[in-house]
Amino acid sequence: MTVQTEIRSAPHIKGPRSVEQIMANVVYSLAPICAFFVYQYGISALASILVVTASCLLAERVFVRTGTQAGSLSDFSATITGLLLALTLPPGFPLWMGVVAGFSAMALGKALFGGIGFNVFNPALVGRAFVQAAFPAAIATYTPSFLPGRFTEFIPSSLAWPLMAPADTAAWLKAMQYDALASASPLARWKFEGFVTPAWDLVTSLTGHMAVGPSPLLILLCGAYLALRRFMDWRIPIAVLGSAGLSALLIYAVFGTRFPDPFFMLFSGGLVLGAVFMATDMATSPVTPRGMWLYGALIGLLTVVIRFYSGLPEGVMYAILIGNAATPLIERITQPTPFGKGVSIRARRQATYTLHPDYISREEAGAKTPKKRFLKNKPK
Amino acid sequence: MSDLSQTRTFDEFMEGIWRQNPVFVMVLGMCPTLAVTVSAMNALSMGLATAFVLVCSCGLVSLMRNIVPKEVRIATYIVIIATFVTVVDYAIQAVSLAVYDALGAFIQLIVVNCIILGRAEAHASKHPPATAMVNALGMSLGFVIGLLALGTVREVLGAGTLFGVSLFGANFQPWVVMVLPPGGFIVLGAWLLLFSTLKQRKEVRLAEQGGGHGA
Amino acid sequence: MNTSAIPPQATPATSLVKTLGIVSAVCGLIIVGAYQGTYDAAAANRRLALERTVFKVVPAAKSMVEWQATPQGIRPAGGEPAPGAVKFYAAYDAQGALAGIAVEGAAKGYADTVRILFGYSPDCQCVTGFGLVASKETPGIGDKIVTNHEFLANFDALDVKLNAELSALANQVKVVKHGTKSQAWEIDAIAGATVTSRAVGKAINDSAQQLLPKLVPETEKLRKKES
Amino acid sequence: MKLLSYFRGEAFQRGVHPPSCKHTADTSIRRLPFAPRLVVPLSQHIGKPSRPTVRVGEEVVRGQPIAAADGWLSVPQHAPATGVVEAIELRPSARGPWTECIVIRVYEASTQEMLWGTPQDIEAFPPQEIVLAVQRTGMVGLGGAAFPSHAKLTVPEGAKVETLVVNGCECEPYLTCDYRVMVEQARDLMVGIRHAMRATGASRAIIGVEDNKPAAAEAMRRALPPQGDIFVEKVPTKYPQGSEKMLITALFGVEVPSGKLPLSLGMVVNNVGTLTALGRLLPAGQGLVERVVTVTGPGVARPGDYHVPLGTPLSFVLDYAGAPAQARQVILGGPMMGQSVASLDVPVTKGVSGVLVFRGEDMASREGRRSYPCIKCGECVESCPMGLNPSMLGMLAAQREYDVMGEQYHLGDCFECGCCTYTCPSNIPLVQQFRVAKQILREKAAA
């Protein structure tokens, strides 16, 4: 029997997971969020999502083509970056600025580091940080959701000519009988006006004005889907929200009414979106379980600190970027304890059989164990 | 003979502009490069100020190269450079206060610009005045080009103007980040990327043509 | 640095001193020459720049005189500035009559201290305009304070009247939320640039509070331009 | 699921759940005929190769010793069939290098009866004698490690063994040889356990079976002797439950300290296959001449568990089981840790628990996948049973920072179970990188 066989290295079977599958699932879970975003803000939001995503994909293609970075379009990672970036921008953000945001996200956030897996910072947030620095006025201009003509009429600022300043949204809103405050996000309204948006509005975002993206409830649902299918680590969002909630509660309890209640802290602005979709970005978060808790806690705390004590209304973006920067360090100090190296020599609860106490104490006393004379046994 | 010396002079001149460009190749003098290139005008003034100091001090250093003992040469260079920096400082104040305010402390900081001390020590102290000054001129031209490259981009995107002339009309949306320090880093990074890409391409081409000459 | 590595034929110390001395002397000469050569032009420049700002906040002005207010009263600037003195400039029109007074002020803004110069009119006891001396506020947001017409309209006649005893402002200058100005001494902030707007208000308030009680009783001193 | 087991603390943490694919679980063990030529390598175990005691041309009968143990960590070899020694020469081995083998031309009339060995009253033997008797059988760990069994049953000076752990966890997908042995030969297993307990001085024996093998547990419970010192215990189904350290954690809730043996906790672990074979061979005084091998995989027409005479060439086994010509990959052992062989001339040895055949199309799904840079999803960290950080190790391996891997990231604890590579969505060959790194570190240490 002459058979051509191949030599391969074990293991000879592969698990079902692939990068494409993970990324595609993230895209699926973002789809309802984007849909709701469009439902809230109309064609401006739709155009924004399409343009930003397209520019991310185009940039990715350019960088992959020129050999600047690894990866390919088919891995969906650029699509995710584009969708997330679009969700963090105001719906009436001028489209040409969206293109700038998309390109800078891919160039500064991804290609610079070598592409998928190598990036240190979340590309979507890098893109947002760039346009936040470049166009601070445009990025702080929000429009109310559920405007009457939102499916037929663009928000005028969307359609600004490239390089040109966008039309005055405030004037446009005034013409529609909205007061100037309508274009401020709940966080900005709290920061500058001291107005705390009611809780139910925040959670559902079915009325009023949402600063970043759609209803936190929807985001949490989509995040739960990802976490249950284990396409995302559940520890990070819980750590972020938990630590933000706790630190806000602490400040609220100590300093009282000068600060909003923790509930407002959690559900206003982009904290939920950031915790569920941005902080969990795999390449930029720690891989070690303990590291994830630490990383999440750091982001939550930083968010609250930035929101309360800085001139900025929103702090999630910078908190996550700082968390990203701290990731290698966190990973270093939270390496998992290898099997048999911890203090776990004491029996765990509910073991079926107990060990003769002599053997445990002998081991703990550092008694000399027989010298290793042969190789470790392998499992079958 | 004269041909040879002419090409040599030309080489000395071009060295600073291309092969050893202080900004794009040697990445020297980054402090003023990043800080003052908010506009093309500032970049040009800074570049010219540095050029003046560089050329004058290199000339003087070269003149004195045989009489200055080795032990005190650095002290001498610093004194000479500081002198010309002070002169430039006064001159700018006299010419335009606006430019002086925009450049701020960076005029005085030309003293510690390593391009100048580096050139004085590595080149001017070993060559006759003419050569030294030609080389210094090339270097400072390279520096001016570098600063202008940054300043132009940052001014065009950051203010929509070039040397104060509006390019896009009144409705231009300025890119605030460009006039902030991060913008300086981003633009500098982009230029460095462009330069090294060009250089690499050239080397590859040379290697293909010359067959092993590319070292 | 490495003292043990002195070469065998060390240059004699006198030679070193001589060289350094010569170099220093030459350099000193160059510097003195440059200083002399540029002094007048630089001083003229500086004066021009200041005048430009002063004339901007006091539009009718054609010439100005620098003054300072000390606890003892006001006197023309010159000589040692007294500690705690507030500088201000009396601006005169073409006929030599007092056109207005420009006062310096400063307050912490969003990025750094915002330094301004504001015009004060003794006739209406109000602020008539302001100009930036130095500001590092975020371009595009903070610099709206000099471009936003709504905001600048606040300073057409901002009330800074003193109280009856002439010891303090009758009403503190206050920056209020955008769109809620109701009093002549209130400043309507720019939406989105509240911090910088507040800095301007605070700078005016602080300077006025400090200077006006001393200035107002002696306004007559300033009426006529001294030669 | 994961969360629950994490809190219950019943099993070791982490691990993976590959599809079990145990298609041959319900067919009983069959016998394979003799191949025309059997190739018996002198080194089928860890330790020194055996010393041949026969000459070329000599006739041997089934069960006759043909090579003697050369030293303590070595075992004798027995003739698997009646025939003539045709050659003693170098032949290819599964691990690559050519090794010395005794080639036996089998008489066509050779029977499957054992023709050598005299029954011995093993019950009367003192522990040391039992150990020697075990060595005479040529027994090695049949789970795959091929470590001489008598050495494992020897308790060193000063140590004491309390528990004999019997490893009935066959966690590798596809393999069913241990399962069939537990179902069909539970009685022999009990005899083997009894002798092993006496040899080590253990006062109790615990058989760990995965909870997806209820039939095996039931069969063994029925065969339990009345003394009540042997227990059958179910443990969660998970890969690599069959690793002795993982099994101990599952049973006792303790971790074997890193770098130490279960002996340090008063335990000795043995495989069910080994003890069953011992239970049959020891009283009869015979030698090990065949073993149960699972021949399976998508590329096999008649998969099943076979009693395969040692030394049977793979080509003969596959012909018999009906492997088609398009077989592309032949693996000795399970799919997670087994070894693919280059040549079908290599013989079945004592350590081969399974022969797995994949066709081209079975591999296409695996080969067609793109390889990405590490996206740091953390799957490998979640799955590593040894609590290592394969993601970091992989990155260090790519940078050739082997010393850092060994010193700071505990590379030495990796036992190449393959969980990280199995789960990696980026298709990075982590285990392979670790193998290379370990080899380099070994060479450095030796130099």
Cα dist. C218→C122, C167, C203, C212, D154 in Å? Answer: 11, 13, 23, 10, 112
C-beta atoms of A345 and D254 within 8 A: yes
**Closest chain C residue to B94 measured between Cα atoms?**
C42
Would you say residue D426 has pLDDT above 50? yes
- Bridge partners, residue A177, by sequence: none
- pLDDT score of D353: 92
Collect all residues of chain D within an 8 Å Cβ-Cβ radius of residue A356.
Answer: 162, 266
Establish if B184 touches chain A: CB-CB under 8 angstroms: no
**Closest chain A residue to C195 measured between Cα atoms?**
A311
Distance CA A165, CA A135 (A): 10
Q: Which of B88, B90, B92, B155 should be substituted to probe chain C, the one whose Cβ sees the most C Cβ atoms within 10 Å?
A: B90
Which listed CATH number (3.30.200.20, 3.40.190.10, 3.40.50.1100, 3.10.20.600) goes with D32-110+289-363? 3.10.20.600
Residue D94, token pair as written in the block: 């599964």
Distance CA A23, CA D425 (A): 11
Q: Which of C110, C137, C178 should be substituted to probe chain A, the one whose Cβ sees the most A Cβ atoms within 10 Å?
A: C178
Collect all residues of chain D within an 8 Å Cβ-Cβ radius of residue A70.
Answer: 372-373
Which listed CATH number (3.30.950.10, 3.40.50.11540, 3.40.50.720, 3.40.50.10490) goes with D2-25+118-284? 3.40.50.11540
**Closest chain B residue to A130 measured between Cα atoms?**
B177
C-beta atoms of D258 and A348 within 8 A: no
Residue C134 falls within a domain, yes or no? yes
Establish if B182 touches chain A: CB-CB under 8 angstroms: yes
Report the number of secondary-structure helices (H) and strands (E) in chain A. Answer: 16, 0
Would you say residue B212 has pLDDT above 80? no
Distance CA A296, CA A315 (A): 14
- Sort residue C76 into left (φ over 0), alpha (ψ -120 to 50) or beta: beta
Q: How far is B40 from chain A (nearest CA, A)?
A: 19
DSSP designation for D239:
B
Q: How far is A322 from chain C (nearest CA, A)?
A: 21
**Closest chain A residue to B160 measured between Cα atoms?**
A163
Residues of chain A with pLDDT under 50: 1, 211, 367-380
* Cα D23–Cα D29–Cα D34 angle in degrees, nearest 5: 120
Establish if A66 touches chain B: CB-CB under 8 angstroms: no
For residue range D318-340, what is the model confidence (pLDDT) as tens digits?
989 887 766 678 899 999 998 88
For residue range D269-289, what is the model confidence (pLDDT) as tens digits?
999 999 999 999 999 999 999
Collect all residues of chain B within an 8 Å Cβ-Cβ radius of residue A134.
Answer: 175-178, 183
- Domain extents for chain A? 19-141+143-183, 185-333
- pLDDT score of A205: 65
C-beta atoms of C194 and A192 within 8 A: yes
Q: Which of A134, A160, A161 sits opposite B175 (nearest CB)?
A: A134
Amino acid at D195: H
For residue range B9-25, what is the model confidence (pLDDT) as tens digits?
788 888 878 788 888 88
Q: Which of B171, B172, B177 sits opposite A133 (nearest CB)?
A: B177
Domain range holding C204? 46-223
Residues 291-320 of D with CB under 8 A from A: 315, 318-319
The burial class, CB within 10 Å (0-12 / 13-18 / 19+), for D214 is exposed
pLDDT category, B215, cuts 50, 70, 90?
A: very low
User: What is the rounded end-to-end Cα distance, in angstroms, of chain C?
Assistant: 61
- pLDDT score of C192: 66
- pLDDT score of D4: 42
Type and span of the H or E element at D65 = strand D65-68
For residue range D208-229, what is the model confidence (pLDDT) as tens digits?
999 899 999 999 999 999 988 9
Question: What is the length of chain A?
Answer: 380
B123, B132 Cβ separation under 8 angstroms: yes
C-beta atoms of A163 and B180 within 8 A: no
Stretch B155-177: mean pLDDT: 85
- pLDDT score of A26: 93
Neighbours of chain B (3+ CB pairs under 8 A): A, C
Whether residue C139 is preceded by a cis peptide bond, meaning omega within 30 degrees of 0, is no
**Closest chain C residue to A133 measured between Cα atoms?**
C138
Q: Which of A159, A164, A318 should be substituted to probe chain B, the one whose Cβ sees the most B Cβ atoms within 10 Å?
A: A164
DSSP designation for B172:
B
CB burial string D188-203: b at 16+ within 10 A, e below: bbbbbbbbbbbbbebe
C-beta atoms of C192 and A170 within 8 A: no
Residues in contact with C199: Cβ distance below 8 Å, sequence separation at least 6, in sequence order: C107, C108, C109, C110, C114
DSSP designation for C217:
G
Among residues B78, B142, B148, which one has the least CA distance to residue B116?
A: B78
Distance CA D57, CA D105 (A): 10
Establish if C170 touches chain B: CB-CB under 8 angstroms: no
Average pLDDT, chain B: 85
- Sort residue A348 into left (φ over 0), alpha (ψ -120 to 50) or beta: beta
Neighbours of chain D (3+ CB pairs under 8 A): A
- pLDDT score of D290: 92
Distance CA D28, CA D177 (A): 10
Three-state SS for D337? coil
C-beta atoms of A163 and B176 within 8 A: no
User: What is the rounded end-to-end Cα distance, in angstroms, of chain D?
Assistant: 48
- pLDDT score of B9: 79
Gyration radius from chain A CA atoms: 25
Residues of chain C with pLDDT under 70: 1-10, 78-84, 136, 138-141, 179, 191-192, 224-227
- pLDDT score of C140: 61
**Closest chain C residue to A192 measured between Cα atoms?**
C194
- Domain extents for chain D? 2-25+118-284, 32-110+289-363, 379-446
Residues in contact with D50: Cβ distance below 8 Å, sequence separation at least 6, in sequence order: D42, D43, D67, D68, D69, D70, D74, D75, D76, D77
Would you say residue D2 has pLDDT above 50? no
Distance CA C105, CA C187 (A): 16
Establish if A334 touches chain D: CB-CB under 8 angstroms: no
Three-state SS for D306? strand
Collect all residues of chain A within an 8 Å Cβ-Cβ radius of residue D230.
Answer: none
Residue C17 falls within a domain, yes or no? no
Distance CA C130, CA C54 (A): 9
C-beta atoms of C192 and A311 within 8 A: no
Average pLDDT, chain D: 88
D81, D104 Cβ separation under 8 angstroms: yes
Collect all residues of chain B within an 8 Å Cβ-Cβ radius of residue C27.
Answer: 79-80, 82-83
Distance CA D64, CA D42 (A): 15
User: Considering its fold, how many domains does chain C have in total?
Assistant: 1
Establish if C29 touches chain B: CB-CB under 8 angstroms: no
For residue range D137-174, what is the model confidence (pLDDT) as tens digits?
999 999 877 899 999 999 888 788 989 999 999 989 99
Residue C31 falls within a domain, yes or no? no
Q: Which of D255, D292, D320 should be substituted to probe chain A, the one whose Cβ sees the most A Cβ atoms within 10 Å?
A: D255
In sequence order, what DSSP letters do the residues of A259-294 get, joined into one string?
Answer: S--HHHHHHSTTHHHIIIIITT-GGGS-SSHHHHHH
Distance CA B157, CA B136 (A): 32
Collect all residues of chain B within an 8 Å Cβ-Cβ radius of residue C41.
Answer: 93-95
B65, B126 Cβ separation under 8 angstroms: yes
C-beta atoms of A369 and D416 within 8 A: no
Collect all residues of chain C within an 8 Å Cβ-Cβ radius of residue A140.
Answer: 192
- Sort residue D364 into left (φ over 0), alpha (ψ -120 to 50) or beta: alpha
Q: Which of C16, C45, C46 sits opposite B69 (nearest CB)?
A: C16
Q: How many CB atoms lie under 10 A from the CB of residue D236?
A: 17
Among residues A334, B135, A84, which one has the least CA distance to residue D391?
A: A334
Stretch D20-41: mean pLDDT: 91
Three-state SS for B199? helix
- Sort residue D194 into left (φ over 0), alpha (ψ -120 to 50) or beta: alpha
Residues 93-132 of D with CB under 8 A from A: none
